[in-house]
Structure 1
């Protein structure tokens, strides 16, 4: 059912309280917009059904590929029926239920049903290795695991000997949930009501395991209260995104993994705000674009990779049509237009000039409308997290009619700790503290965080081990606050490179800029205790395939292509562009192109696509040494 909002709601403004030391901002704190919630996340489907039973809260794709509405009442009934099935299967309050699946409707259904049964859910990335899966299942003490398909069933079955407490493995694709629902029909509804009533904001909702870039994954203990503090303030703050500002009801298609805390927060936030939610299991370009076209969301939550992919695909299409120069001119106009538009909103500029407005009007039907069409046609806002999007791409999307809200957070902070405030963007930053959150910069530049969404500790031996002393959680990231309370992330504390000349180099800005290039898949900057900074690059398959076609080199083997002078020259332009961000001492002097990609299967990436630097350095030690052979 569509909701008409008239007049459109205005975004809530939260001016942070700033603390100065020696003339610089060292702390920004924003008051919460909502009181502390009571109850638990398990109440959300039941509250929705009571308040608006006929409102569409989800859409689910049927076997014919059509998106079908799911009302609040229908979802409540499914949650209740599945919760009763879990009770029949022996799931007790406090038991851990693992979920290993791609992003799909059943994932969110299981989450809420498990909570209604009093259980704690444990996400497992569907791409996890046997060793990672065994560790998470054993460490969490999972008594049951729901998997998506036969391959996951085989994987979990192969490690059951290492997980003595695991009693059940249920497979989605063989109808396991339907079987549970059937088995639970004899359970009285009051049993689920009783279990829900026993939950409080302090009850553990989920154990979300970190990626483990330097060791085994650690289980972050997140409570129902942590999620309420996060989503309730986010919904209240982001009116233009989470609530309709016209006759078009707000909706989003979730393609982030629900194993990741950001995807999980979005799913919960949408149900909490009754924003129509759909699930897309595949982020392969063709699959995702087809799902976006069918669902037609009004906003997206994405990692930079997706927005980079849409941009690069648009340019590749234009190049294939012989219109690359026209696309590049349109992109330049969009960036300038976006910069001017956002500067006016930030109060630092007059807005787009007459010439920019004319150029924008010219290219909108030719280029920008096609970019928006690739996102489904109705998207006007995007929330971006996971890594920095980059100023140029954020300005481009703003100029193309899609405003990007960047955010920053960690698993330990239940996703976002900062976010771009509505209509108050500041390019190059990750926004201001979320309402109810404080950010402090330590003497060494580390970002410290405080707020209701900050977790209490890590799971260890069936108990919660406090993760930090005092009131501030040390993020491990380096950053700075400006005079508006906006945070800029400059790098990871543990990843700082110190060259032989004593220069401190944060690799993240260089790596993020290079990954935005259509030919670059992954990048790792090196140079610790070396005379200069260098980099290892891998090639992005789709971008490389397009490059090959345009230059008639489809038959050239990859092993020869990585030394192709034309390819190296193009990559050198990308490196030069990245180097424009830093000083000469911090710039990349040499790079090597690898004939293989960094992958999770090879142990080079975490499930959330973060670099395992030590593993990469070990496996490509010879290539790294060659970068310094002539120094």
Structure 2
């Protein structure tokens, strides 16, 4: 009790380091004020209580993982620990969580695995497309607050029993909602899962804001947005489109780095480094990461995360790195999903000795070229991908290519793959 009485809310509680996607990681000083503000206001918005169960697999070096841990202590829900990232899909069916906190990469992998299984059979694909189509009709009516006709509702129940229940079962069968944060989630993925009966709610925040400052909730969500401000959070958009935030959730400072601290504060307003707009109704939509924007030789701005997200919608693509700053055109460095690749090869009777060799074969080059053409069909000419390169191995956290939350370390990869990227312009 004496120890607790001696601690002030303004005392430093922990140091968390930024992911280092665009440069050297910085230490973020978080006080008890930020933690209490985040945990007390965020979890109550979701209606979480002590009867809930979560499956934890986020690293505690990442602020999102810490929030789940602190939320467990504050709310009293049961928190199970996944054996490993590789076993998350198995652990989901064992633990059967009622809610889930995750980074987009996990949802992308599940989405790709479903797509890969469905594509293996024309009949299976036809049935699945029909069921998801029915689900999308339900989604559209729900999002526009319209009445769902009884005949459509009956058809949806049939679709769930025959097809869509397999998707909800993959998450354990009793998931009320899942939260996605740490990086952008493609709208196609969130709307797909909603149509299949799994609600994924996207939020937005940074290490410097003690995780989420805006979030969609089970009672108010809009796909393509990152939701409305949490609790005391205030937002405004700067003249250049940058999102500024004022809240008790914002860090005290960068550890031993007054210069970097001064750069991100204008009085009480914190500069997030992200470009966004506030939609009618108050929802925030993030459009670009300010530091990541590519400016082509023709003076056009391209958002790499948008293109990378579109490419990863294809089950074959594991990771994508878009490049083209001060160049005449945009290029992509790709890694392939080994499981999806081997499954496709067997389906099409392609012989191979190992998947790395297969990834470099003319057959797969043609497949990927078709996928990129499909992606380019929905893009403006200046942002379309003109050339690509497939790497023989996937990016990993251990190699320093991904952050613990599975985001690309863009600056590191651009330097490491400089020769390969430049070869695409020769």
TM-score between both structures, scaled by the size of structure 2:
0.91
Q: Which residue of 2 aligns with 1:298?
A: 98
How does 1:124-203 map onto structure 2 within 5 Å? Answer: 193-203=1-11
Q: In the alignment, is residue 584 of structure 1 matched against residue 374 of structure 2?
A: no
- Partners in 2 of 1:320 and 1:558 — Cα distance? 18
Q: In the alignment, is residue 395 of structure 1 matched against residue 203 of structure 2?
A: no
Q: Which residue of 1 aligns with 2:141?
A: 340
CA displacement, residues 345-370 of structure 1 (integer Å, 9 cap, x when unaligned)? xxxxx255566434422220122211
Q: In the alignment, is residue 312 of structure 1 matched against residue 112 of structure 2?
A: yes
How does 1:206-245 map onto structure 2 within 5 Å? Answer: 206-239=14-47, 242-243=48-49
Q: Which residue of 2 aligns with 1:277?
A: 79
Shift, 1:411, TM fit: 0.4
CA displacement, residues 472-516 of structure 1 (integer Å, 9 cap, x when unaligned)? 111111111112111111121111111111101111111122223
8 A Cα contact 1:418 1:431, kept in partner: yes
8 A Cα contact 1:380 1:401, kept in partner: no
Shift, 1:440, TM fit: 1.4
- Partners in 2 of 1:587 and 1:388 — Cα distance? 20
8 A Cα contact 1:208 1:259, kept in partner: yes
8 A Cα contact 2:61 2:404, kept in partner: no
Shift, 1:394, TM fit: 1.1
Q: Which residue of 2 aligns with 1:110?
A: none
Helix, strand or coil at the partner of 1:368:
helix
8 A Cα contact 1:304 1:386, kept in partner: yes
Q: In the alignment, is residue 263 of structure 1 matched against residue 65 of structure 2?
A: yes
Distance 1:337 1:308, change over 3 A: farther
- Partners in 1 of 2:387 and 2:15 — Cα distance? 42
> Structure 2 unaligned runs (5+)?
none
8 A Cα contact 1:446 1:479, kept in partner: yes
Distance 1:230 1:536, change over 3 A: same
> Structure 1 unaligned runs (5+)?
1-192, 345-349
Q: Which residue of 2 aligns with 1:60?
A: none
Helix, strand or coil at the partner of 1:460:
coil
Helix, strand or coil at the partner of 1:205:
strand
Distance 1:354 1:435, change over 3 A: same
Q: Which residue of 2 aligns with 1:289?
A: 89
8 A Cα contact 2:331 2:388, kept in partner: yes
- Partners in 2 of 1:592 and 1:336 — Cα distance? 38
Distance 1:390 1:465, change over 3 A: closer
Shift, 1:560, TM fit: 4.8
- Partners in 2 of 1:395 and 1:353 — Cα distance? 20
CA displacement, residues 572-609 of structure 1 (integer Å, 9 cap, x when unaligned)? 44434544554222222222222222233433223333
Helix, strand or coil at the partner of 2:144:
helix
Q: In the alignment, is residue 205 of structure 1 matched against residue 205 of structure 2?
A: no
TM-score between both structures, scaled by the size of structure 1:
0.63
Q: Which of 1 and 2 has greater Rg?
A: 1
Q: Supply the RMSD in Å over aligned alpha carbons.
A: 2.5
Q: Which residue of 2 aligns with 1:619?
A: 416
- Partners in 2 of 1:202 and 1:415 — Cα distance? 18
1:433 to 214, 224, 229: 229
1:368 to 150, 164, 171: 164
Helix, strand or coil at the partner of 1:585:
helix
Shift, 1:410, TM fit: 0.5
